[in-house]
C-alpha cells in the first residue's frame, strides 16, 4: 500500500465504508477500499507523525499527530486540516466520546484531551506523573477508558474530568491498546506481559496469558459477535480471544511485518496495518 519506509500504523473504518490508514513516517493518510482501490493524501508536514485514527461524529476521520502535537481531521474526499494543542503532549490514542466530542491521550504530559468537531479544546490533567496514557476508547458507562502504559494501570475519566485508576496485578504489564467489548467489559493488551486483560465498568479485572508471552500484543478491536481481535507486534501474528479467554492465533505470511493497528472492516474481515508498507486482510 505504501513505500516500506512510510510505516502504516493506525487503521479505522470510515463513514464511506473504506479503510483509512495513517502512514506515521511519511506524514500521509491512506484510503483503501475493500476492492483494493488505494488513494494517498499528503498532510501539511511529512514529519507530523500521524498515529491513531478514528471515525468522527461529523462524517470525517480524526487522527493524532504525535510528532507535531496536533489533532488532525480529514474529510472522505481527502481535505485535511489540523488543530495545534496548547501543550506539546505527544497525542496518541483518539476516539469519539459519548458526548459527540473527540477524546485523546497526551503521552508526554499525562493529560486527556477533548476536542469538539468545531475545534474547541479542553485538557484534563491526570493525577499520576509519568503514566504515559496511550490508547483510549468509549466505555458502556458513558465514560472514557484508557491505558496507562508506564503506570501499568487502566484509567477511567468521566465527561466532567473525574479520573479513576485501576492498577494491574502483573508487574510491568505496560498496557497499550484498549477496546469496548460487546460483553460490556473493556478489553486491553499488555505489551510488556504478553497478556490480554479485561475490566468491567465496576473495576473487576481478569488476565489471560498468551501462549507466547514475548509476542508483544499491541492493538485490539472488538468483534461484533463477541471476543476481540488483536495484533502480536513482536510475533508477526493476529490473534482472537473469545469471551471465555480461549486464544486463537494466525501467522502473517510476510516475516517480520510488524502488525500495529487493527479493525473489523465493512466486509466482516479483519484488517491490520503492517509497518513494512502493507495492509493485511484476514477472512474469519
Quick one: which of 79, 80, 76, 40 has its CA closest to 55?
76
Closest by Cα among 226, 150, 217 to 188: 217
Q: Which residues on adjacent β-strands are paired with residue 32?
A: 19, 38
* Spatial distance between the Cα atoms of 104 and 50, rounded to a whole number of angstroms: 13
Q: What is the dihedral of CA 135, 53, 157, 191, to 10 degrees?
A: -10
> Is 258 labeled as ligand-binding?
yes
Whether the CB-CB separation of 136 and 93 falls below 8 Å is answered with: yes
- Residue 190 marked as a ligand binder: no
Q: Is 218 annotated as a binding residue?
A: yes
Q: How far is CA 113 from the centre of its chain?
A: 15
Residue with cell 500495529: 260
Of the listed 25, 69, 152, 260, which one is catalytic? 260
Cell (9 digits) for 119: 475545534
Q: Is 206 a catalytic residue?
A: no
Half-sphere exposure of 137 (CA within 13 A, CB side): 21
Indicate which residues carry an active-site annotation: 260
Residues contributing to the annotated binding site for substrate: 218
Residues contributing to the annotated binding site: 218, 258, 275
Amino acid at each position: 500500500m505504501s513505500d516500506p519506509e512510510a510505516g502504516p500504523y493506525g487503521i479505522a473504518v470510515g463513514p464511506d465504508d473504506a479503510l483509512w490508514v495513517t502512514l506515521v513516517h511519511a506524514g500521509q493518510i491512506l484510503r483503501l477500499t475493500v476492492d483494493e482501490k488505494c488513494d494517498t493524501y499528503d498532510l501539511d508536514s511529512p514529519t507530523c507523525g500521524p498515529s491513531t485514527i478514528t471515525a468522527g461524529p461529523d462524517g470525517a476521520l480524526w487522527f493524532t499527530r504525535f510528532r507535531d502535537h496536533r489533532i488532525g481531521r480529514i474529510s472522505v474526499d481527502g481535505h485535511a486540516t489540523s488543530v495545534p494543542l496548547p501543550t506539546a503532549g505527544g497525542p496518541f490514542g483518539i476516539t469519539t466520546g459519548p458526548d459527540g466530542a473527540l477524546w485523546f491521550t497526551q503521552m508526554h504530559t499525562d493529560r486527556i484531551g477533548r476536542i469538539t468537531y468545531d475545534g474547541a479544546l479542553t485538557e484534563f490533567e491526570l493525577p499520576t506523573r509519568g503514566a504515559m496514557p496511550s490508547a483510549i476508547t468509549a466505555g458502556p458507562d458513558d465514560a472514557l477508558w484508557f491505558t496507562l502504559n508506564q503506570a501499568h494501570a487502566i484509567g477511567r475519566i468521566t465527561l466532567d474530568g473525574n479520573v479513576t485508576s485501576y492498577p494491574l496485578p502483573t508487574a510491568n504489564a505496560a498496557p497499550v491498546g484498549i477496546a469496548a467489548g460487546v460483553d460490556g467489559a473493556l478489553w486491553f493488551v499488555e505489551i510488556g506481559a504478553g497478556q490480554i486483560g479485561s475490566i468491567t465498568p465496576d473495576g473487576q479485572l481478569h488476565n489471560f496469558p498468551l501462549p507466547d508471552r514475548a509476542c508483544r500484543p499491541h492493538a485490539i478491536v472488538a468483534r461484533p459477535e463477541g471476543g476481540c481481535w488483536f495484533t502480536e507486534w513482536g510475533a508477526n501474528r493476529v490473534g482472537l480471544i473469545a469471551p471465555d479467554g480461549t486464544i486463537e492465533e494466525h501467522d502473517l505470511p510476510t516475516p517480520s511485518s510488524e502488525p500495529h493497528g487493527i479493525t473489523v472492516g465493512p466486509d466482516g474481515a479483519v484488517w491490520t496495518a503492517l509497518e513494512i508498507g502493507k495492509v493485511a486482510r484476514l477472512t474469519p
